Structure 1
């Protein structure tokens, strides 16, 4: 993928550069190769050690402000991560589940933890969550299920915008919070709560991915013709716009209904559902949207497996973000390793949610089988 800030000569050379060694640690080569289409990010490769970077931990305790009890807040699972570069370090914000001994997916309390890496190879985690349900005005939306599945972007003024799912056990709601430092947070509540007197507030919404651009060597939220845009939702992907990154309006059709911009496709790996992934990136080709794809073996790819989550890429117009220009035919990342195919979600997932530009490479963070966090790395062309 060619970023707008590259010079024409570098763009020419990039067409002829093949995959190179990612860093001082080697990467496996079995997934190496060319991307399916020239506009796509990648190709992405897993590190050679082929292991998760973040796993559950029953020893870390946190005094929950609602129950007043010490809880093992990441004892069940750690997965579905966001990522951002801050102070020349990668910060991974991951969903952590406290085990409530439920047999159902989503039957536990989720909070958001933080892992930091200086080099993209080793990660150190905070002992306590950085974002969680509290005795605040969002408790009715966040308790007891918690705060789930974050995505994060940086604004032009250096603040951080977090989108996440509020889960009260009844309706999942896409919500937003802001922070100057990833430590102190202001919750702004459900993203569409005020839109048309709460028209969408009791409708299931989740997975908000705000469009970004490359600026001074890092990704920041991007305005397109005076507005920020966010791809969101599942089983279709919809679009919303904002002038300030706080107040959002969904894009509707002439009848006042949500207008999907990306749909599932019978006969393909994304035949069951599509879901917004990490913050999309504006390149010279358009807006590259990485998305999560669910397969139906009945109407999709039979040998891929039923309900398997893989990852795809789609290209949208950078002038008209609702206009789909192209789409990959096959997944660029799919469950292959044991920890990607075993866990809470036994059908397997490589659920992409975090993307950063770091050390001239793309670092893509994903959840594995709703249980752990993995990373795949690709050269930035």
Structure 2
């Protein structure tokens, strides 16, 4: 199927990094991987940050221009339960009616599980626990975790033929559906992903869903997607491209970019806790521009901007 990718070209902002670690507390060492959403006339970022202990919490920041953000002092999501005792990580966010739905990774120190929380104000959250216990999105690959592992869930805010859809996964990508936005059922088991790495390409080692999709006039849902190559655990390179699915079959990829639109280039992109990482998790349309928010080497936070075509 011929598909037009309407997003881009993106240009990293000259203001990058737009957020850095600060202080001596919970966001003092690393700050990265943000979810983004427009609320009224402002952009809200929910970002991952931690001190030297690497136990992540989720913070909240606000901007009137999409570039300059004012942070709230305290995190809005913190580890409380055993399944997230080592961190609340990597949020994505969608709003349906008056409720915000936040997916995040609950990490217990050994296993990562995709979790869900809901809120009416972005500050007070109700946690609904892990969504896919026992599911392993790495199962079909010859490397990666052997036990339960799931991350990176993005939700489309409108039902498709009576069901809501989520796309999730690190390593490979899967789809799930729901009728109430709280209880989700994978479309297929973990032996049958809908999208996998492409050997020899920029996403040859792993793929991971990026930000919630946008709908095109062609009846497609277009996603920003992260991909990586790795010759060893210490030699990785994360880049960002795009994929598309059809509203007629949301569990099948119909088009993918052969080259990434974002790759590590700057000092912050190539130096940090995990070097050579540009990792997108937030995308908003704001003031007739697209703002794509990403983490730089798991250490700082940046944005790339594109006019709305």
With the length of structure 2 as denominator, give the TM-score of the two structures. Answer: 0.91
1:192 to 132, 145, 158: 132
Runs of 5+ in structure 2 lacking a partner? 137-146
Runs of 5+ in structure 1 lacking a partner? 1-36, 60-71, 101-107, 194-198, 212-220, 299-304
Q: Does 1:355 align with 2:254?
A: no
Matches within 5 A, 1:153-302: 153-155=94-96, 157-193=97-133, 199-200=134-135, 203-211=148-156, 221-252=157-188, 256-285=189-218, 286-296=220-230
2:92 alignment partner in structure 1: 151
CA distance in 2, matches of 1:275, 1:121: 25
Tell me the CA shift for residue 75 of structure 1: 1.2
CA distance in 1, matches of 2:135, 2:200: 31
Q: Are the equivalent residues in 1 in contact too, given 2:132–2:150 (CA < 8 A)?
A: no
SS at match of 1:321: strand
RMSD: 1.7
Deviations 1:268-304 (A, max 9, x none): 1000100011111121230102110002469xxxxxx
CA distance in 1, matches of 2:221, 2:32: 26
Tell me the CA shift for residue 115 of structure 1: 1.1
Tell me the CA shift for residue 58 of structure 1: 2.3
Q: Are the equivalent residues in 1 in contact too, given 2:67–2:303 (CA < 8 A)?
A: no
2:44 alignment partner in structure 1: 91
CA distance in 2, matches of 1:48, 1:369: 17
Q: Does 1:142 align with 2:66?
A: no
Tell me the CA shift for residue 257 of structure 1: 4.1
Deviations 1:15-71 (A, max 9, x none): xxxxxxxxxxxxxxxxxxxxxx7324111111233x201111124xxxxxxxxxxxx
CA distance in 2, matches of 1:243, 1:159: 15
Instruction: Identify the structure with the greater strand proportion.
Output: 2
The alignment covers a number of residue pairs equal to 295
Q: Are the equivalent residues in 2 in contact too, given 1:238–1:258 (CA < 8 A)?
A: no
SS at match of 2:249: coil
CA distance in 2, matches of 1:121, 1:352: 15
Select the structure of larger CA radius of gyration: 1
Runs of at least 4 residues off by over 4 Å = none
Deviations 1:198-254 (A, max 9, x none): x4396101110112xxxxxxxxx12111111111111111111111111000111xx
